[in-house]
């Protein structure tokens, strides 16, 4: 038993679950704990240490971004800490070097600038208005506290100043503009004709000897992929939905009436004061004096509040029904008259001047109006409880079971079977890379264990077992005869088209004109004059090859051919190349070219600046 548990604990499924637990833990603010921790540094940059905790945070940020971008297509091995650590450490070192350099240059970001950026960030807005609730929720999900987010954002803005300043110091000379314009806006004149692939479609069936020879030469092409027949148990929320009793609905209705949307709600603005008590008292007095003198609460919040997120919006914090803010604030808000500024309210965050800008009350709909919604909600909640209970039982039973029949019988579930699942996936839920990875893992395929209970998505769980392994094997000739015949015919057609194209090129290079050859062979002729690289009317295959050819000598032409995506051969005669000219470009095109070149040069300067910082730095990677 212990040996089996050890084998399970070393498996891929176990490692995936542990990885997901770590990421989930990081998503709920673990960075605020880790940043305070000690430990041996992983690198030292000009005397400044980079801690293991900082490196781990950087890795976790990369993992979250990859999960968000790739979703179900994510290969779990891509989340491996050891795989991400070198790149993360490199980024941390570069960032530390740039921040040290920016400090030496005296670059800073003010609280007001930070607040304006936070308030203008679309992800923190609801209906175009900054939402403090959404701001705090998204930071929590990303593993940030407001303080750490402001710190990172401030550093990003300073680094943007560095890169922007370096880019702004670079300029593009007229000679560079003209040289690039000559290439980018170059014009080419050419003619061409098409040799249709369909003219060479084979009308005869290949000889049996050809088919046999092709089969023997390409045996590996006719192998079936290795596959497994998989038994699996699937648990979904719908499997546990059940009718809801009338009394349960009535109880749910009473709870719903107490919901936030039916309570009295206050829309709150505040001015936050942080710092030592003497400083706070002085600044509060100044703010109160401004308010008494006729300044609006929004103006004073913008000038005095230390909450950069709300200050840019006049101190607006959104709505509360009595449970959103610290207890001291909620008590004061409940007693505060609409439009009246409170006396200072002290919480763990600091001291606040509060203002209730709106106060609304709501009446709940009738029980009958809410019946369907309540039934769905209660049914879902109860089904979710039963689902999670079943998942835990299934985990315990399947871990030690030698098949899936036993846990299925225990939980009154059905064992499904899907044959022929390959490493690239199968049908239905087995199109998921997570399941195919589990099916071909060492502990499931080689050792014959049940997999871990895998969560495909929220409220959808699967445990699987390989019932049969199907080795890769060469298919019989009769099974692949049709594909061999098609392949031989395709080769014959391609060879015919290629021969025809090379025959045409030979004739043209001997002196026959393109027009005469096309007319004699009854090929469709085309002419293009003054075509640039951005043309969207000429087929891409032709355009790409035309601009790959060198410029012909004066009075000469060049010939070549290209195979189009549909197998046709396009024989090309390049007649003239006209270099581009910067002055002939329209104003918008000139500006676009200038911006592109400036950006490219700015990026090069920034990269060289980083290399120079690194060359002069004392860096120890431990």
> What pLDDT, in 10s, does the model give residues 388-410?
999 999 999 999 899 999 999 99
> What pLDDT, in 10s, does the model give residues 452-497?
999 988 889 999 999 999 999 999 999 999 999 999 999 999 999 9
pLDDT at 551 over 90: yes
User: Can you tell me the distance from the alpha carbon of 237 to that of 385, in angstroms, rounded to the nearest whole number?
Assistant: 9
Query: Which pLDDT score is estimated for 252?
Result: 81
> 521 with 537, same domain?
yes
> What pLDDT, in 10s, does the model give residues 313-329?
889 998 888 878 889 99
pLDDT at 25 over 60: no
Cβ contacts of residue 466 below 8 Å, gap of 6+?
Answer: 228, 229, 230, 231, 439, 444, 445, 448
> What pLDDT, in 10s, does the model give residues 231-288?
999 999 888 888 888 888 888 887 777 664 667 788 999 999 988 888 899 999 999 9
Domain that holds residue 342: 260-360
Least confident of 125-129, 139-143, 213-217, 586-590: 139-143
Enumerate the β-bridge partners of residue 233. Answer: 463
> 458 with 486, same domain?
no
> What pLDDT, in 10s, does the model give residues 178-231?
888 888 889 999 999 999 999 988 666 789 999 999 999 999 999 999 999 999
> 347 with 405, same domain?
no
User: Can you tell me the distance from the alpha carbon of 326 to that of 321, in angstroms, rounded to the nearest whole number?
Assistant: 12
> 286 with 217, same domain?
no
Cβ contacts of residue 291 below 8 Å, gap of 6+?
Answer: 297, 300, 341, 353
Exposure string over 268-306, b if 16+ CB within 10 A, otherwise e? bbbbbbeeeeeebeebbeebbebbeeeeebbebbbebbb
Tell me if residue 189 falls in helix, strand or coil.
Answer: strand
> What pLDDT, in 10s, does the model give residues 490-526?
999 999 999 999 999 999 999 999 999 999 999 999 9
> 429 with 505, same domain?
no
Q: Where is the domain boundary, 470, 500, 530?
A: 470
User: Is residue 396 situated within a structural domain?
Assistant: yes
> 464 with 488, same domain?
no
CA dist 285 to 288, 308, 343, 357, 441, Å?
A: 5, 20, 11, 22, 68
Query: Which pLDDT score is estimated for 204?
Result: 67
Distance of CA 538 to the CA centre of its chain: 35
User: Is residue 76 situated within a structural domain?
Assistant: yes
Query: Which pLDDT score is estimated for 132?
Result: 81
Of 534, 541, 252, 207, the residue nearest 370 (C-alpha): 252
Query: Which pLDDT score is estimated for 12?
Result: 36
DSSP 474: B
- Place 6 in a pLDDT band, splitting at 50, 70 and 90: very low
> 25 with 49, same domain?
yes
Average confidence (pLDDT) over 603-614? 88
Q: Where is the domain boundary, 74, 104, 134?
A: 104
441 CB-side CA count, 13 A: 27
Query: Which pLDDT score is estimated for 259?
Result: 62
Query: Which pLDDT score is estimated for 203?
Result: 61
> 351 with 414, same domain?
no
Provide the pairing of β-strand 619-621 with 316-320. unpaired
Average confidence (pLDDT) over 90-119? 88
Alpha helices in 403-539 (DSSP H): 405-410, 433-439, 477-509, 514-521
Query: Which pLDDT score is estimated for 261?
Result: 60
Q: Is residue 442 within 8 Å of residue 1, measured between CB atoms?
A: no
> 455 with 517, same domain?
no
- Place 362 in a pLDDT band, splitting at 50, 70 and 90: low
Query: Which pLDDT score is estimated for 126?
Result: 84
> 603 with 617, same domain?
yes
User: Is residue 110 situated within a structural domain?
Assistant: no
> 193 with 284, same domain?
no
Query: Which pLDDT score is estimated for 23?
Result: 34
Q: Where is the domain boundary, 470, 487, 518?
A: 470
Specify the higher pLDDT residue, 327 or 132. Answer: 327
- Place 558 in a pLDDT band, splitting at 50, 70 and 90: very high
Distance of CA 423 to the CA centre of its chain: 24
> What pLDDT, in 10s, does the model give residues 365-391?
778 888 888 888 888 888 889 999 999
Specify the higher pLDDT residue, 115 or 227. Answer: 227
Least confident of 69-83, 417-431, 556-570, 574-588: 69-83
Query: Which pLDDT score is estimated for 77?
Result: 72
User: Is residue 109 situated within a structural domain?
Assistant: no
Residue whose token pair is 């439009």: 339
Question: For the whole model, what pTM was predicted?
Answer: 0.49
- Place 14 in a pLDDT band, splitting at 50, 70 and 90: very low
User: Is residue 450 situated within a structural domain?
Assistant: yes
Average confidence (pLDDT) over 565-588? 91
Query: Which pLDDT score is estimated for 142?
Result: 74
- Place 29 in a pLDDT band, splitting at 50, 70 and 90: very low
- Where residue 297 sits, what CATH number does that domain have? 3.10.50.40
User: Is residue 28 situated within a structural domain?
Assistant: yes
User: Is residue 512 situated within a structural domain?
Assistant: yes
The average confidence (pLDDT) of the chain is: 85
pLDDT at 18 over 80: no
Tell me if residue 536 falls in helix, strand or coil.
Answer: coil
Query: Which pLDDT score is estimated for 457?
Result: 82
pLDDT at 135 over 80: yes
pLDDT at 72 over 80: no
> 608 with 567, same domain?
no
User: Is residue 138 situated within a structural domain?
Assistant: no
* Length of the chain, in residues: 622
- Place 71 in a pLDDT band, splitting at 50, 70 and 90: confident
Tell me if residue 124 falls in helix, strand or coil.
Answer: helix
Question: Total structural domains in the chain?
Answer: 5
């Amino acid at each position: 038993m212990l040996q089996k548990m050890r084998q399970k604990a070393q498996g891929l499924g176990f490692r995936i679950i542990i990885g997901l637990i770590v990421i989930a833990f990081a998503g709920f603010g673990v960075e605020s704990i880790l940043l305070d921790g000690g430990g041996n540094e992983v690198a030292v940059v000009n005397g400044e240490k980079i801690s293991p905790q900082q490196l781990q945070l950087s890795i976790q940020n990369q993992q979250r971004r990859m999960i968000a971008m790739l979703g179900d297509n994510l290969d779990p091995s891509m989340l491996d800490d050891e795989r991400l650590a070198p790149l993360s450490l490199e980024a941390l070192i570069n960032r530390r070097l740039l921040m040290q350099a920016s400090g030496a240059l005296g670059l800073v970001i003010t609280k007001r600038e930070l607040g304006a950026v936070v308030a203008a960030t679309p992800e923190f807005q609801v209906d175009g208005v900054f939402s403090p609730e959404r701001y705090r929720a998204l930071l929590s999900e990303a593993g940030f506290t407001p303080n750490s987010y402001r710190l990172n954002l401030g550093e990003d803005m300073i680094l943007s100043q560095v890169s922007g300043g370096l880019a702004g110091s670079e300029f593009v000379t007229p000679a560079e503009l003209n040289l690039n314009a000559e290439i980018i806006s170059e014009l080419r004149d050419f003619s061409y004709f098409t040799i249709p692939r369909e003219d060479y479609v084979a009308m005869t069936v290949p000889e049996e000897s050809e088919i046999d020879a092709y089969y023997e030469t390409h045996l590996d092409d006719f192998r079936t992929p290795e596959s497994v027949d998989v038994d699996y148990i699937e648990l979904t929320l719908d499997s546990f939905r059940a009718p809801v009793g009338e009394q349960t609905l009535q109880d749910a209705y009473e709870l719903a009436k107490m919901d936030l949307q039916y309570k009295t709600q206050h829309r709150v603005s505040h001015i936050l004061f942080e710092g030592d008590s003497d400083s706070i008292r002085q600044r509060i007095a100044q703010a109160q004096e401004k308010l008494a003198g006729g300044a609006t609460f929004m103006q004073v919040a913008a000038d005095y509040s230390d909450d950069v997120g709300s200050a840019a919006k006049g101190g607006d914090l959104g709505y509360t029904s009595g449970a959103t803010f610290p207890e001291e604030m909620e008590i004061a808000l409940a007693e505060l008259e609409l439009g009246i500024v409170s006396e200072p309210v002290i919480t763990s965050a600091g001291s606040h001047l509060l203002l209730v800008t709106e106060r609304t009350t709501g009446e709940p709909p009738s029980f009958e109006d809410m019946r369907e919604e309540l039934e769905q909600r209660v049914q879902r909640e109860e089904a979710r409880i039963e689902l999670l209970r079943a998942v835990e039982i299934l985990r315990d039973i399947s871990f030690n079971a030698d098949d899936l029949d036993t846990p299925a019988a225990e939980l009154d579930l059905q064992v499904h079977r899907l044959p022929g699942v390959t490493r690239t996936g199968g049908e239905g839920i087995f199109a998921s890379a997570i399941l195919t990875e589990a099916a071909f893992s060492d502990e499931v395929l080689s050792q014959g264990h049940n997999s871990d209970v895998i969560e495909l998505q929220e409220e959808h769980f699967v445990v699987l077992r390989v019932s049969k392994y199907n080795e890769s094997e060469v298919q019989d000739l009769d099974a692949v005869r049709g594909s061999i015949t098609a392949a031989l015919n395709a080769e014959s057609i391609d060879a015919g088209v290629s021969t025809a194209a090379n025959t045409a090129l030979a004739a043209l290079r001997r002196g026959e004109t393109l027009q005469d050859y096309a007319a004699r062979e009854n090929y469709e002729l085309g002419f293009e004059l003054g075509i640039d690289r951005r043309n969207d009317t000429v087929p891409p295959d032709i355009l790409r090859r035309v601009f790959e050819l060198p410029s012909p000598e004066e009075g000469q032409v060049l010939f070549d051919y290209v195979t189009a995506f549909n197998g046709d051969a396009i024989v090309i005669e390049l007649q003239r190349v006209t270099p581009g000219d910067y002055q002939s470009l329209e104003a918008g095109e000139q500006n676009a070219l200038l911006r592109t070149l400036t950006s490219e040069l700015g990026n090069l300067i920034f990269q060289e600046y980083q290399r120079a910082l690194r060359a002069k730095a004392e860096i120890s990677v431990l």
